[in-house]
Structure 1
Amino acid sequence: MASPDYRHSVVLEPEPEPYKAWWRICSYVEQRRWNTQFGANTPVEILAALTDALLAPVPETTPEIWTPLTAAGWTYERDARGNESATHPDGIMSLSRRSLDPGEHFLWTAEARHDYGDTQALIWHAYLDDRMPTHLISAFTTALASSEPVQRGMYDVPHAHLVSQVQRGPQGKELADAHEARLKGARAAACKARRSAAPSTRGAPAPATAPPSTAARIR
């Protein structure tokens, strides 16, 4: 998918390995190009929070990035070189902003891992570009910190032993209607964003009438 102005794209490229990059969201704004990538098992609610933020107007104030996580009980650390990280209380999920060398470009990494004895198994991962606008990274961390239950088919989740499933919430047609309502809302937001970005012509002075050409005067 590409935005109407071709400034952003959302790409799904399934791979045989679910832990490779399946999803990519890219920006082609010349002064601030950036891209993100997500594994197949990345919760769709997190992806949706990021794409919704692309449609929404840029906030007037700079939103907090780490506060949604620390408010949800995540532990936060920052070292002397400016590297930052936060970890969920259960230790499964983490987010880091790190650079290998001082002064080099930072990279955001989000991961969900689970211990199996002496090894750790990757559940899902995401990589974010530090050049992304702050409000987009904030939308990602806010979704990452959310504890709201999500809709999934019974047992249709990776590592099902790590989650608790309860049959509740919208079912059947209600779920389909809720999905259609979300799509309509996204389309309306996209149309509003296009109208806001389009240069206004209302109230502009009428163009001056061109003088008759020499050939016209001769006739």
Structure 2
Amino acid sequence: MILASPDRRYALALEPEPESYSKWWRISCTAEDATWYAQFGGNTPVEILAGLTDALLSPAPETVPDLWPILTARGWTHVRDGRGNEVAEHPHGIMQLRRWNRSANREDSWSAVALLPNGLGGQEAVWEAHLPDVPHLVASFATALADPAPVARAEFDVPHTSLVTQKPGGRQADDLAKEHAARLARARVTAVRNRRTALTTQPVNSPTPAAPVVAGHRR
């Protein structure tokens, strides 16, 4: 399945693989002024994925908040090494957001990973994400990543159910479907409104005035 934005600037592809740890989701930008891509494993919670896709509906802000305080405000630790690489880690060690400092002629590399104990003293990845070096998109993703709000899932529709705290919810499938439809409707309205704003605020080039016609003397 492939979705494209109305202006053809962005594309979202869902290509399920037999292994849920593979990259299922791919988002790309092929605009003339920006080229990037992001990819997400099949187990990536859709709420976190939406943190990035929602940011695509609005123009990039003029100023972007510092990313790391978004996470440290939730109790995450933040470490920077001597090479300029940075990593923020969830207080329980189950989630990391990393930035790899690249050379001056290459963009930085961002990645996120969810980790769980493998029973052998180590950890295994539940899902991974690779993000573009676009500050406001990474900030939106980080905001969703650190959001402590519970999410709605079927009783066994999560990986590693033994490690998940589940509580009965009052919402039923019909309610969730209505909420999803409302969310899509809001997204469409936002996209259309922003597109109209962009069109009406574009500078209009005035046509070059015609050269004046000089009448000759009558004989």
TM-score range, shorter chain: 0.7 to 0.9
> Is 2:171 aligned against 1:170?
yes
**8 A Cα contact 1:49 1:143, kept in partner:** yes
Within 5 Å, give how 1:1-219 maps onto structure 2.
1-99=3-101, 102-103=103-104, 104-115=106-117, 116-130=119-133, 132=134, 134-199=135-200
- Distance of 1:171 and 1:29 partners within structure 2: 41
**Number of residue-to-residue matches in the alignment:** 206
RMSD: 2.5
Alpha-carbon deviation of 1:151? 0.8
Structure 2, unaligned stretches of length 5 or more?
Answer: 210-219
Query: Matched residue of 1:167: which SS?
Result: coil
- Distance of 1:44 and 1:74 partners within structure 2: 21
The amino acid across from 1:46 in the alignment is I
- Distance of 1:5 and 1:53 partners within structure 2: 16
Alpha-carbon deviation of 1:46? 0.9
Structure 1, unaligned stretches of length 5 or more?
Answer: 209-219
Query: Matched residue of 1:77: which SS?
Result: strand
The amino acid across from 2:159 in the alignment is P
**8 A Cα contact 1:81 1:102, kept in partner:** no
Structure 1's 78 and 169: CA in aligned 2 closer, same or farther, altered over 3 A? farther
- Distance of 1:182 and 1:62 partners within structure 2: 25
Alpha-carbon deviation of 1:176? 1.9
Query: Matched residue of 1:127: which SS?
Result: strand
| Partner residue in 1 for 2:213 | none
Deviations for 1:91-141, whole angstroms, at most 9, x for unmatched residues? 111111014x654542111001112223322111101122x2x11110000
**8 A Cα contact 1:24 1:36, kept in partner:** yes
Identity of aligned residues (%): 49
- Distance of 1:204 and 1:7 partners within structure 2: 24
The amino acid across from 1:89 in the alignment is P
| Partner residue in 2 for 1:213 | none
Structure 1's 78 and 205: CA in aligned 2 closer, same or farther, altered over 3 A? closer
**8 A Cα contact 1:9 1:25, kept in partner:** yes
- Distance of 1:148 and 1:155 partners within structure 2: 19
